[in-house]
Amino acid sequence: MRLSWTGAAMALALAAGACTTILGKFSAEGGGGASGTTTTTATTSGPGGSGGDPNDPCAKCSPHATCDKSAAKPCSCNSGFAGDGQTCTDIDECAQSPCTDPNAFCKNTLGSFACVCKPGFAGDGTMCAQQWVEDDVLQGHFFGNTTSYVGGNVQEILFANGSMGADRFIFSYYPGMKQLSSVQLMPAGSNDFCNCGFTAAPVLALVVPFEFGNYAQRFFDGIWQPLQGYTTAYMRGEGAGVMLDADALVIGGRDYATNLNQASIVSYDTKAAAFAIDKYPKYIWGTVSSAGAVTVGSRVYVFGGTVNGNERNRAAVFDNSTKTWTKLPDIPTQLGRTDAAAMLAMPPQLFASDGQKVWHYDPGAAAWDASGFPFPDGGQHWRMVTAAGKVWALGDYADGVHIVRLNAF
């Protein structure tokens, strides 16, 4: 995300024969660039040049100068330039080291300069903060190339790799206590939380994890317990799992009977212990699979996934108070399998990721950040999740799964 301050870009149109000038400006931003110096020589763009009045004193002014016909020397260089007014040279402000934050560098621009946060840091250039902060490491365990699973709630992150081999694992992590705990694997013969069959959707209620895929189960009293009433009519794979009030939702996904992606939503009422398929209206964009979903209050945001077979940049929000869907601006890139997360600040900020980069959506401005930002260097197979009101990411390093927190963007 880039924040910038710029002075007004002003065009001064003087009386007949006047020059046109653009004043210098200052900006501070996050990004890249290089420093340099630009020299502009006098031009004859006014009437005294191409077919104009040769006696017009403004005709000899640099494009980076202001003309005052009443002055003894009518041409004077604009702010950010040096010279006699007919020749104006860009001043390299970076030579004076104006950027004071140690995590920023200076980028010279024509007539001005910018303070830019270094890679791995975010801010407005005058203040830069570390973008991701490491919280813990699960030594010796890895997501690998198989599909991995991550879910979160107000206190816990539940994550698993997609292996069916001896390296298979399910762990929970409590950020407030920095506590990693092994969770019992699926019951013998179960192939959920694996890269096989229907890809399961983890859904974390307040204190109880659920999973919906080939089976529907909850983790309670230290064991996985099957949910009654989970027939093939409700069975979905690659759905977007999320909690909304007391209901666990699986949005879209691949249907068991037809093996086709769906727009409908399977819900499980955790209080009544009952499944339904028509309690909520269908996803507004059409059929969807492998999307990311996150709840903010009474709203569910759904990002990315594969929509209608070939669209991978769609976004929408469901408002439970009105029971309506609203289409949001398209994500600036094609994501495919997507994670969604929210930083529950005031106002909340939303994020979508395909495991390579993170894209920020500001619901107040109803706009996406056009450039996105990366995960920490050195990691791979990244997954993103909301837990304890913050955004977390988990990725493979040489020594295991690293758990990092989004600190600035």
CATH number at residue 332: 2.120.10.80
pLDDT of 130: 96
Same domain, residue pair 151 and 102: no
Same domain, residue pair 341 and 376: yes
- Residue 5 covered by a domain: no
Same domain, residue pair 114 and 137: no
Residues pairing with 157 in the sheet: 152, 173
- Residue 3 covered by a domain: no
Q: Supply the pTM of this predicted model.
A: 0.78
Same domain, residue pair 122 and 184: no
Same domain, residue pair 90 and 41: yes
- Residue 201 covered by a domain: yes
- Residue 10 covered by a domain: no
Instruction: Show the domain range for 36.
Output: 27-128
Same domain, residue pair 83 and 140: no
Same domain, residue pair 233 and 352: yes
Residues 49-93: pLDDT tens digits? 334 577 889 999 999 999 999 999 999 999 999 999 999 999 999
pLDDT of 189: 57
Letter string b/e over residues 313-337, b meaning 16 or more CB atoms within 10 A of that residue's CB: bbbbbbeeeeeebeebeebbbebeb
End-to-end CA distance of the chain: 6
CATH classification at residue 111:
2.10.25
pLDDT of 194: 65
For 17, the 3-state DSSP assignment is coil
- Residue 200 covered by a domain: yes
Same domain, residue pair 339 and 229: yes
Same domain, residue pair 99 and 193: no
Same domain, residue pair 105 and 175: no
Last residue of a domain, one of 98, 128, 158: 128
Q: How many domains does the chain have?
A: 2
Got the DSSP string for 266-331? EEEETTTTEEESSSSPPPTTS-EES-EEEEETTEEEEE-BEETTTB---EEEEETTTTEEEE-PPP
- The Cα–Cα gap between 361 and 279 comes to 28
- Residue 18 covered by a domain: no
CB 239 within 8 A of CB 252: yes
pLDDT of 162: 74
Last residue of a domain, one of 128, 157, 177: 128
pLDDT of 78: 97
pLDDT of 2: 38
- Residue 348 covered by a domain: yes
- Residue 15 covered by a domain: no
pLDDT of 336: 83
pLDDT of 40: 38
Same domain, residue pair 91 and 170: no
Last residue of a domain, one of 112, 128, 144: 128
pLDDT < 70 stretches in the chain: 1-52, 146-147, 164, 187-198
Same domain, residue pair 200 and 312: yes
- The Cα–Cα gap between 46 and 61 comes to 9
Strands (E), 183-264: 201-204, 209-212, 216-220, 223-226, 236-237, 240-244, 247-251, 254-255
